[in-house]
Structure 1
Amino acid sequence: MPSVQVIDDGTDTAPGSTPELSPELQEQLELARCELEWDRCELIDGTAVPEPGASSIVAPPPSEVGPLGAIGNGADLVRTSFDTGTDAAFDAVCAESLAPRSADGDDPTPSVAGIECVDDPANEGMTAADLVRGAEESFSTFVVIADRITLTDPSHPVLVVDLAEEPGRAFRAAPAMLWDLDANLSIGNMWFSEFADAADASPGGVLRDLG
């Protein structure tokens, strides 16, 4: 930020009055004020404005950060099947997993599950056991797999794998259920085993709701 120096030229100024600044000092003050809010500023016709592409250095109020927040501790949704023609199916799985929901209670603000979709061919053929071994230092309590069954079944049931309570235990669930898993497991409101038991008792062994 440019420094502003006021030079005493010996001119007497009446008490309480404001000395008149030179045009150069006025321009420096304009730039200094602009650079309190923007990382790059320029003068146009004596007025300081942000340069094209400049970024604001003032944090927005919390209400302006974004309409949706993520819940829970989050988990990876890992694609492990890359058969030709299944890209759209994986996109659909991610979209359903990240659909905003409102929690029951006093706060109606929609939120999304803290799910990270991982679409990397290096993971082709990875199994639940592989991902459990690779997640020993993960902060997540579960990982989700989009395998061949997920991407070829019209309802896209994902495979949810426990990383904490009973590492390796797995069950199938509708992608929309990931919101419920993330919300409840992150605060200890439910155990992974409760979801797994519910899936075992569900038609087709796929958890689609908590009813």
Structure 2
Amino acid sequence: MALPGEGEFSLVLRADFRDDAAWRAVCAEIDAAEEYSTATFVSDPRFAGVTVQALLDEEAAAAEEDKVFHVFLADAVTMTDAEHRLLAVDLADEPGRTFRVPPRWFPDVSVNLGIANMDFAEYADEVDGTGTYRGFGGED
């Protein structure tokens, strides 16, 4: 179940396949939030129901050149939540650490993690009471 390499883009991995319209809405919201897309959308049924632990196990077994440092999981919560909050998963620095991020904030998180301008923890440390990143200082 190797994860697709992320290259310069952030991997948005579909893990819930019960509602195609919800998936399309999530993708559209992410695309609408940024001028130049930084998302690589993966809708592959082999990832149905994938857990954070399974992602960590897969990364632990991956060759160094195939490592993915973070992933944005479109899980059951994402698909049923009115905000379509993705689950950001750290696979490198603090493997398994997570937070939720609405599509509105995806570009900020994606770009800064992608260019290593900021660390995963800097975002995870700024979550609200629901575990959701809404900008520094809760700007949303």
Shorter-chain TM band? 0.7 to 0.9
Structure 2 residue aligned with 1:206? 132
Q: Which amino acid aligns with 2:36?
A: S
Structure-2-length-normalised TM-score: 0.80
Structure 2 residue aligned with 1:77? 12
The change in CA–CA distance for 1:100 and 1:176 in structure 2 (over 3 A counts) is: closer
Q: Which runs of 5+ in 1 are unaligned?
A: 1-71, 102-109
The change in CA–CA distance for 1:152 and 1:77 in structure 2 (over 3 A counts) is: same
Q: 1:112 aligns with which of 22, 34, 37?
A: 37
Partner secondary structure for residue 189 of structure 1: coil
Q: 1:164 aligns with which of 92, 99, 104?
A: 92
State how far apart, in whole Å, the 2-side matches of 1:208 and 1:77 are. 18
How much identity, in percent, do the aligned residues show? Answer: 39
Partner secondary structure for residue 49 of structure 2: coil
Q: Contact conserved, 2:33 with 2:103, CA < 8 A, in 1?
A: no
| Structure (1 or 2) with the greater helix fraction | 2
Structure 2 residue aligned with 1:130? 54
Q: 1:108-157 CA deviation, whole Å, 9 max, x = no partner?
A: xx4222x1111122211110111222233434321111111110111111
Q: Which amino acid aligns with 1:175?
A: P
State how far apart, in whole Å, the 1-side matches of 2:42 and 2:115 are. 24
Instruction: Give the aligned CA root-mean-square deviation in angstroms.
Output: 1.9
Q: Which runs of 5+ in 2 are unaligned?
A: 1-6
Displacement of 1:100 in angstroms is 5.3
Partner secondary structure for residue 126 of structure 2: helix
Pairs within 5 Å for 1:174-185: 174-185=102-113
